[in-house]
Amino acid sequence: MTRSVTARVPAKVNVQLAVGGLRPDGFHDLANVFLAVGLYDEVTATPADELRITVSGADAHAVPLDRTNLAARAALALAARHGIEPRVQLHIAKDIPVAGGMAGGSADAAGALVACDALWGTAAPRTELLEICAELGSDVPFSLVGGAALGRGRGELLTPLETGSTFHWVFAVAEGGLSTPAVYRECDRLRAADGQGATVADVPDPEPSPALLDALRTGDARALAAAVTNDLQPAALSLRPGLAATLSAGTGAGALAALVSGSGPTCAFLAEDAEAAASVAKGLAASGTCRAVRVATGPAPGAAVVGA
């Protein structure tokens, strides 16, 4: 019987995304406070005659099936480091919104790394997996680690954060996606148009909010709601003005805080407790401002093998 290994990996929400100026290399320094939430993709690795990608679930049609897929790139990177032919089929069961600002592609990369490492018996140390993650993308290391963390640099330099409680979230999934590079370009354009400038010489170095970190540590949802920020939100709203109605519908339904998740277009709403989250979800579903509504809690664990 052919052995398969399945890894489960969570989505994320950025409770703070502070974006520095445009660097000469085209990237931006970040103070990125990640919280993993309980919406999961599963990546199953099975021996095959060549590298193949298959996808099922919501928006599967929007996921590339070639070697541009981050999960495929993860398998290729791990195989290259260990002198292995990447003869594996990776099946991605999608439950994280695609191109929704919740790191679905990054999650798949981390899941593929964990699943292939177990399938091939490479026994790669955590430091090696994190190095590969950082090569693949800014959000991939956090998808491996999960929980809560502060990301510096491009977001890949992680410091784990303490959380004092479970936080309740509602996510409004928009029709279609948003390109993360396009949102960063719009952020730079808006900053330049405002006259403040968009480069590292113009924009202060991004720093995490002490009040936000304290709210996470103490588990205070109301304090966290008062501190959440996303510097990419004006750019996401500029590209997708309809998101303003979604944010308004969520706050009108009782959310403590509303923000665009990462580069969007998914919108995230913090609720006081499970009952309040259900009420917010009901209000959003009735508002007609989004395609789907999901409820989840965080922090959630990072990428891990769940079946072999």
**Which residues are identified as catalytic?**
12, 139
The reply to whether 303 sits in an annotated binding site is no
The reply to whether 252 sits in an annotated binding site is no
- What is the signed CA dihedral for 68, 74, 80, 83, rounded to 10 degrees? -130
Q: For residue 50, what is the enclosing H or E element? A: none
CB atoms within 10 A of CB 241: 9
| Structure token digits, residue 252 | 């009108």
The reply to whether 192 sits in an annotated binding site is no
Whether omega before 160 lies within 30 degrees of 0, making that bond cis, reads no
Using alpha carbons, select from 79, 91, 86, 88 the residue that is nearest to residue 132.
79
The reply to whether 102 sits in an annotated binding site is yes
The reply to whether 109 sits in an annotated binding site is no
CB atoms within 10 A of CB 210: 9
The reply to whether 264 sits in an annotated binding site is no
The reply to whether 227 sits in an annotated binding site is no
Amino acid identity for residue 212 in this structure: L
Q: Is the dihedral of CA 274, 276, 279, 281 positive or negative?
A: negative
Amino acid identity for residue 211 in this structure: A
Amino acid identity for residue 52 in this structure: R
Using alpha carbons, select from 41, 46, 40, 42 the residue that is nearest to residue 116.
46
The reply to whether 107 sits in an annotated binding site is yes
The reply to whether 13 sits in an annotated binding site is no
Orientation angle between helical segments 104-120 and 126-136, nearest 10 degrees: 140
The β-bridge relationship of strands 304-307 and 5-22 is antiparallel
Annotated binding site for ATP: 97-107
